[in-house]
Each structure stands twice: as C-alpha cells, then as structure tokens.
A and B are shown apart, each in its own frame.
Chain A
Amino acid sequence: MTFLDFYEYSLIGLLLGGLYALIGLGFVLVYKATRVLNFAMGEFMMMGAYFYFSATVLMGLPWWAGVGIALGASAVLALGVERLVLRPLVGQPTISIVMATIGLASILHGTAVMVWGADQWRIEPIVPRAPFFLGDAMLPGQLVWGFGLASMIILGFVLFFRYARGGVAMRATATDPHTAMSLGIDAPRNTAITWVLAALISTIAGIMVGAMTNVSPELGLVGLAVIVVVILGGLDSIPGTIIAGLIIGWIESMSVAVFGSGVREIVPFAVILIIMMVRPFGLFGTPEIERL
C-alpha cells in the first residue's frame, strides 16, 4: 500500500465514520432515555429511505418535499411504535423490551418487502456527486457532504443537551424518570420525543445511505453494523459514539484496503471483541460515579 492509498482510505474511512456516528446517535438517544438498545434502528433508516423514495420517485415530488414527507412519516411511525409497542412495556424487564424491538425490526422489514417489494431502487442523491480533492486524495462528494451534515446534526444535539433547558430535562428523565416526574417533568412525553428524534436522525441517515448504495429492504443492515460503534462508544456517551464511529469507519476502510472487501463486516466485530474484553463499559461509557 502506498502512502497515498493509506491517506485516501483513511480519509474515506473517517468520512464514513461520521455517518456511523450519526446513526449511532439515534441508538444513544433511545438508550439514554429508556436503557433499551433499539435493534429496529436500522429498519427505521430503511423506512425513511423508502418514504423518500416513494415521494420523489413514485410520486415525482421535488427533493425537499421528499425530505419533508419522509421526516413527517417517520415521526408518525415512531410515535405509533412508542405508543403501541413500547409504552405498554414500561416497567417490564429490559430484555423483554429489547426482544420487542427485534420483533419490530422483522415486522418493518416484512412490511417493506410487502409494500415496495424486494427489489433494489435507485434514488437521486440530494447533494452534488462531484468529488472533493484534499491534496492528492479524491473523496466521493456524497460522503463529504454527508459527513458535513452529520457533523452539524450531532453538534446541534450536543449543544442542545448541554445548554438547553429541555436538554437538561431530557437528561434528567434519562437518569431517573420517576424522580423527573415528581419534579414536574413530563417524562412519558420526553421519552416519546426521544423516539421521534431518533427516527428523524435515522431517516436522514437512511436517505444518505440509500443514495450511496440503493434502497432495498436490506438497507437496515447498516444499523446492525453501527451497533458495534455504539457499544464501543459506551452506549450512553455521545462523544464516545463520535470517536467510536470514526475509529470503526477508519478500521473498516483500512481493512478493505488491505484485505479486500470480503472482510468488511468482520474486522470491526473482531476489534470490538478485543476492546470489550479490556473495557466492558466501552471506550467512553460511564461506570457509575462512586464517592469514596
């Protein structure tokens, strides 16, 4: 591998990592609010991409209307799921709820196959395809734009949680919903909002991924790969997810460069296995505060 290859693959990996971090943010939001790892996150991405596909390709609407419709439909879907599937399970063991999200993933996958078929569909990317050049490295335009958008969304969330009053309330709800409620915070509403926000993030990510690959029922598999990122980042840490996203993106890109695309899915899992043995709560997850 020449230095230029290394440089180019590294940059592409980091850009990809930004996207992973965005998808990971969807996981982290739900995990922080409900202590549930939502295995249906990838399927939310897929549904978002299909909503966008239906609006722009099937109905022929312009891209901005497609984005609006996809976001709106995903929000409704998330609200429905929260109300009908998750709220009745409040107070049940976490494992039951996690199983419910796995079931939900299958249902969404099956619904997509029934409604849109198992074929692959192309959607036009919103952002320009023209590649960027950084030194001698040629970077795909979509990836660069996607990285930029992902960074801005993530930054927005970080600032919101850090400084906004509503962000404080959501963090309080995530730590201890009962106490939050006794302080006047509408915890069930906050939880529902969290699901909607996660679905909106997945939709944006789904449209970006759908434009880079294709829209198909298997699009949700990206979400499964991002679980590696989230676990590595410590499940409840947004900065951890960002760094883990970049790490996994880079490792994935490098392993493709060195071993070819066959190992793409394996290497990140192998890496996480090793890291988790050393740090079981992830790279940046918080072991509980303990006062001595």
Chain B
Amino acid sequence: MSMPAPYTTEQGAPRPEEAVDALSVENLEVVYHHTIQVLKGLSLRVPQGQIVALLGSNGAGKSTTLKAISGLLPLERGHIETGRVLILGKDAGTSPPHVLARRGLAHVREGRCIFPDLTVEENLIAGSYALPRGKPDYDIVYNYFPKLTERRKLRAGFLSGGEQQMLAIGRALVAQPSLMLLDEPSLGLAPRVVAEIFGIIERVNREQNTAILLVEQNAVAALSIASYGYILEEGRVMLDGTVDALLDSPDVQRFYLGHGTGSDGAVQSYRTVKHYKRRKRWLS
C-alpha cells in the first residue's frame, strides 16, 4: 500500500517581483547513515527580507532541513540524496559550511552552541570570520543586545540561557548575513525572555533586511513574527500558507496552537490527536 502524496501548495510564499529568493529549497531528500530517510521531498522558499516559520513536531525534520541548507549535514553523516538548495539564487552544492557562511548564510544552531570557554567578545570575534571583507562592526551586536555589553569580558559559559541565545544570534549578526537560519531560539527559555528575543529578531529582520528561516516548536511565538509558514511532518511539508491563513486553519489551531478541544470541551490527549492527524493525512 502506498502513501498518498501529501498536500502542498505549489505557489509557495508570495514573491516580490524580479527579486531572487534569499533561500529556495527544491525537492530535498536527506538520508542519514545511508539508511534513515529524514526528508522526503521537501520544498520551501524564503523571499528576501522576510521571516518564514518552519513548524512541526519533534523528529519532523526541521533541524535536518537547516543542516542540509548550511552544509553541516555531511559532518553528521547525512547526505542529500536528491534536490537542491539555492542561496540567493546560487546552488549551494556540496560547499562546506564555512564557504556558505562567507556567502551570507548564518546558521544559529539548536542549543545555541556558544563557545563556553571564550569570552563574549571572543565569541563575536569568531563570528567575524563569516564576513567576506572589511572590519567587523561589533557595536551592531551590542546595540541589539545591550545586556551583552556589560558581559563583554565574561566567559560565555557563565551567561544565563537567555543571554547565551542572545550571544548566539549576535555572533551570527557580526557578519551581517542576508539569510539567517534560527533553530529553536526559544528552547528552554522563560516566556518573558522568549518575547524579548523574538522582538529583537523581528527588529533585526526589519532594520537589517535579513531574511530569516525560523524553526520553532513554539508555534504561537513563531507565527507572531513570521509572514509565512510551513508545517512539516515526517519529512514532508504538510501545510503551508501565509500566517493569516495558517492561523485560520482549524488543523493548525488544533494541533499547533493548542486550541484543540474534544467534542465534550475537554482538552484532547496527545494520543487521540496523533491518531486523528494520521487519519486525516491518509484521507486527504
């Protein structure tokens, strides 16, 4: 028995005329260890200067998508079986991560991955290597994240979780990327800190005209700043659309925004949700 093709829209995010997309992923299939297929024909687009959210549950392939884009995949024994990744219209091919970083791509990895033994300042210096030429401007980072200013000389391992996330984003900003991949910036942070960081992400997008692909479990937060969204499930795009369309969709409300209630008004258990989701996909 074969799986029916999942539902995706063909037209994707709205495209400003004549501008090339900051990121375009076409029909990507990714396999780990030559055996485990994680992405099964994923396509998505991030137009220049926009925030696009990539949502989905654990193991849907969100982080894998980002690694495939930034070239980190081969370092983790995964490889792109078919499909391609275009960054600012140029095929990323098999370029290693540091080459792509110098082309204007920044990948803020899941779990922040700051260098704990380096000071805040030194972390930013490390970030300056993605700048193809010219003097790095660290003030840009301290402007967006004033909290880091007084921590300059402190080893990054001693920062709080929120500050570490700020440093991770700031470190990527040093190179003034045209495309930023953010992997779960809200991970493990208090709601107040999440709100603060998402506010800054939105400002960066607006003021620096940085296109952002935002991977999140926290769908509410992500959709509050994104203009377009993709919902990923088991390596495929299940649903995509403008944020308004997604917010109106009963499925999204039910499964990702937590408005889901059963017929008797009680909150449904994950078990029933999962079953319903699966049934829904089979019938679609």
Contacts and interface: CB of A to CB of B under 8 A. Distances in A.
Interface in A70-108: 91
Contacts of B72: 178, 181-182
A289 B155 contact: yes
Contact of B101 (A165, A176, A181): A181
Interface stretch (B38-46, B117-125, B245-253): B117-125
B70 interface: yes
B188 to A, nearest CB: 12
Interface stretch (A14-22, A38-46, A117-125, A184-192): A184-192
A171 B107 contact: no
Contacts of B75: 91, 178, 181
B101 A183 contact: yes
B122 A184 contact: no
B115 interface: yes
B131 interface: yes
A169 B70 contact: no
A180 B75 CA distance: 12
B126 A180 contact: yes
Contact of A183 (B71, B77, B126): B126
Given A172-B115, A184-B127, 9 more contacts: A171-B122, A172-B122, A178-B76, A182-B97, A183-B98, A184-B130, A185-B126, A289-B155, A291-B158
A185 B175 CA distance: 12
Interface in B107-121: 107, 109, 113, 115-118
Contacts of B157: 289, 291
A286 B126 contact: no
B130 A175 contact: no
Contact of B115 (A175, A186, A188): A175
B62 interface: no
6 contacts: A180-B126, A181-B71, A182-B97, A183-B129, A183-B171, A289-B158
Contacts of B117: 171, 175, 286, 289
A113 B246 CA distance: 73
B265 to A, nearest CB: 43
A129 B205 CA distance: 67
Contact of B125 (A168, A176, A288): A168
A164 to B, nearest CB: 10
Nearest to A187: B98
Nearest to B102: A184
Looking at chain A's contact residues, is the secondary structure mostly helix, strand, loop, or mixed?
Answer: helix
Interface in A182-221: 182-188
B96 interface: yes
Nearest to B122: A168
A63 B122 CA distance: 40
Interface of A: 91, 165, 168-169, 171-172, 175-176, 178-188, 286, 288-289, 291
A162 to B, nearest CB: 10
Interface of B: 70-72, 75-77, 96-98, 101-102, 106-107, 109, 113, 115-118, 122-123, 125-131, 155, 157-158, 160, 171-172, 175
Contact of A172 (B71, B109, B118, B172): B118
Contacts of A185: 98, 126, 129
Contact of B97 (A165, A169, A176, A178): A178
Given A91-B77, A289-B155, A289-B157, A179 B113 contact: yes
Given A91-B77, A178-B75, A185-B126, A168 B98 contact: no
Contacts of B171: 183
A171 B126 CA distance: 9
Given A171-B115, A181-B97, A289-B116, A165 B125 contact: yes
A183 B130 CA distance: 6
Contacts of A171: 115, 117-118, 122
A168 B107 contact: no
Contact of B109 (A179, A184, A187, A291): A179
A258 to B, nearest CB: 40
Contacts of B77: 91
B101 A184 contact: yes
Contacts of B96: 181, 188
Contacts of A291: 157-158, 160
Given A181-B72, A182-B101, A168 B113 contact: no
A175 B119 CA distance: 13
Given A171-B118, A172-B118, A178-B72, A184 B125 contact: no
Contacts of A180: 98, 126
A185 to B, nearest CB: 5
A285 to B, nearest CB: 12
Contact of A181 (B98, B118, B155, B160): B98
Given A178-B75, A182-B72, A169 B158 contact: no
